[in-house]
C-alpha cells in the first residue's frame, strides 16, 4: 500500500525544509565567509578553527542549559505555537542581516544568536511530531522530514552558491553576494514555515506551569526510573556527538587542511543530494526493519566515517566522506527523533525533547570543544578529529544495552497477553 502524507504531516515537514537551508549554510558558506573575515582580522588557520569550534560549543551549551525550561514552558496549553513563532522570526531576521557585520567578532555574535534560535525552535518542532501523526507512522514521517529538508534546502543554497561563485560575472562583489545570500536564506526559512504556523494546533500539554526547577527535577526522576529512556539518552549523547560534530566542523576541518573552498561547497551539496534518497529509503525500511537495528547500522557507519576522516589528506577523499555522510546522516537523526517520541509519555513531549536536546547539545558542545582543544594542543587538524571515534564507539555499546532493556520490558507484556488469551 502506497504511503501518503496527510495535510498536517506535509505542513510539519515543511519546517524541515525551511530550517535545513540555514543549517546547510552553517556547515558550508558561513565558516568559509568567517574564515575570510578572520584572516582579514589577523587570525591564523589554526586560530580560526579553534575560535569557530569554541563559538559552536558556546551556542550548544546555551541551548543545552535552556532547553528543558523552554520545553517545560512550551508544554503549557496555548504556549507552544507563540514561542515557536518568536524563535523562528528572530532566527530568520538575524540570518537575513548577517551580511551587515563588518568584522569577524560582530559576525560571530549575530551568527551564534541565530543558531541558538534555530536550535531551540527545532526542540519545539520535534515535540509536535506526536501530535501531527500516529505512532506507527512516526518513523516514516520523521524520515520524510529530513529527506525533504535535505533536497529542499538545495534550492536556496544553489542560488546562493551561484551568486557567491559567479557574482563577478554579473557585476557584484563577493561581499555583496554574501549579503544577498544571507537575506535569501533568512527569507526562505521564514516563508516556508508559514503553512505550519497557520495550521498547527496544540493538542496536548499541561494546564499550568509548575516551578520549572522542581518540574525539571521530577522529570529527571521519572527518566532515571525508566531504564530504557535513560540508557537511550546516554547512548544518544555519545553517538550524536559524532554526527553533530561532523556536521558543525566539516567545512572548517576541510579549510584547515587547505582544501579548495569551492570544492568543499560542492562536496557538501553532494551530501544533501545523497541524503534525500537515502533518508527516504531508510524511512521505507523502517516499516519492516526495527528502528533499533537501523540506528545500530547508522552508528556503525559513522564510526567508519570518522576513522576515515582522521587519515584524510586529499580533497577527493573529502568528496568520498561527504557522500558517505549523506547516506546515513538523515536516517540516524530521523529514527532517533521518532524512536524517542514513541518511548516517552504523552503530554510531556516538549519537556522530554528538551531533556533530549541537553544530551544532543551537550554532546555537540563536548565534541566541538574536544576537536578544538586537540587541534590547539597537537597543531594537527587530523589528530583533532580523532576524539569523535571514542564517542561513537561508546554510543554504539550503550545503545545496544538500551535495546536489550526494551526486550526485557516487552517480555511481561507478551506473557500477559498470552495469559489473557
Domain assignment present for 179:
yes
Give me the pLDDT at residue 406, please. 62
Domain assignment present for 1:
no
Domain assignment present for 418:
no
Question: Mean pLDDT lowest for which of 144-148, 159-163, 210-214, 340-344?
Answer: 210-214
CATH number at residue 401: 1.20.1250.20
Q: How confident is the model at residue 412 (pLDDT cuts 50, 70, 90)?
A: very low
Domain assignment present for 19:
yes
Domain assignment present for 404:
yes
Domain that holds residue 236: 7-201+216-410
Given a cut of 70, is residue 211 above it in pLDDT? no
Domain count, the chain: 1
Give me the pLDDT at residue 421, please. 41
Domain assignment present for 107:
yes
Give me the pLDDT at residue 207, please. 59
Domain assignment present for 270:
yes
Give me the pLDDT at residue 408, please. 53
Task: Report pTM.
Answer: 0.73
pLDDT per position as a tens digit, 325-354: 889 988 898 889 888 888 887 767 777 887
Domain assignment present for 415:
no
Cα gap 374→289, rounded to integer Å: 39
Given a cut of 80, is residue 360 above it in pLDDT? no
Amino acid at each position: 500500500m502506497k504511503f501518503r502524507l496527510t495535510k498536517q504531516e506535509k505542513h510539519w515537514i515543511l519546517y524541515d525544509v525551511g530550517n535545513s537551508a540555514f543549517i546547510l549554510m552553517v556547515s558550508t558558506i558561513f565558516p568559509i565567509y568567517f574564515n575570510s573575515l578572520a584572516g582579514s582580522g589577523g587570525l591564523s588557520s589554526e586560530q580560526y578553527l579553534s575560535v569557530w569550534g569554541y563559538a559552536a560549543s558556546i551556542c550548544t551549551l546555551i541551548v543545552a542549559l535552556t532547553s528543558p525550561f523552554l520545553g517545560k514552558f512550551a508544554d503549557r496549553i496555548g504556549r507552544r505555537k507563540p514561542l515557536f513563532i518568536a524563535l523562528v522570526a528572530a532566527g530568520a531576521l538575524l540570518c537575513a542581516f548577517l551580511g551587515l557585520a563588518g568584522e569577524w567578532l560582530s559576525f560571530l555574535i549575530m551568527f551564534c544568536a541565530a543558531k541558538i534560535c534555530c536550535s531551540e525552535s527545532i526542540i519545539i518542532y520535534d515535540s509536535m511530531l506526536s501530535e501531527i501523526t500516529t505512532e506507527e507512522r512516526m518513523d516514516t514521517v520523521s524520515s520524510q522530514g529530513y529527506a525533504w529538508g535535505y533536497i529542499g534546502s538545495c534550492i536556496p543554497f544553489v542560488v546562493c552558491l551561484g551568486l557567491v561563485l559567479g557574482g563577478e560575472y554579473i557585476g557584484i562583489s563577493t561581499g555583496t553576494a554574501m549579503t544577498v545570500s544571507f537575506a535569501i536564506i533568512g527569507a526562505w526559512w521564514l516563508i516556508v514555515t508559514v503553512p505550519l504556523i497557520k495550521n498547527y494546533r496544540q493538542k496536548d500539554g499541561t494546564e499550568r506551569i509548575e516551578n520549572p526547577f522542581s518540574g525539571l527535577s521530577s522529570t529527571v526522576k521519572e527518566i532515571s526510573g525508566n531504564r530504557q529512556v535513560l540508557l537511550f539518552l546516554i547512548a544518544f549523547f555519545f553517538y550524536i556527538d559524532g554526527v553533530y560534530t561532523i556536521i558543525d566542523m566539516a567545512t572548517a576541518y576541510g579549510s584547515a587542511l587547505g582544501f579548495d573552498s569551492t570544492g568543499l561547497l560542492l562536496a557538501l551539496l553532494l551530501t544533501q543530494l545523497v541524503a534525500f534518497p537515502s533518508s527516504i529509503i531508510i524511512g521505507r525500511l523502517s516499516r519492516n526493519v526495527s528502528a533499533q537495528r537501523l540506528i545500530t547500522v547508522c552508528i556503525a557507519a559513522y564510526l567508519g566515517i570518522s576513522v576515515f576522516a582522521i587519515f584524510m589528506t586529499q580533497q577527493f577523499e573529502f568528496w568520498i566522506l561527504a557522500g558517505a555522510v549523506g547516506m546515513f546522516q538523515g536516517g540516524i537523526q530521523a529514527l532517533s527523533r521518532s524512536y524517542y517520541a514513541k518511548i516517552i509519555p504523552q503530554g510531556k513531549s516538549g519537556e522530554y525533547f528538551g531533556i533530549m536536546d541537553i544530551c544532543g547539545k551537550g554532546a555537540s558542545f563536548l565534541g566541538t570543544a574536544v576537536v578544538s582543544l586537540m587541534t590547539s594542543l597537537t597543531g594537527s587538524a587530523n589528530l583533532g578529529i580523532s576524539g569523535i571515534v571514542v564517542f561513537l564507539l561508546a554510543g554504539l555499546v550503550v545503545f545496544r544495552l538500551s535495546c536489550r532493556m526494551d526486550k526485557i520490558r516487552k517480555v511481561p507484556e507478551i506473557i500477559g497477553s498470552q495469559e489473557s488469551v
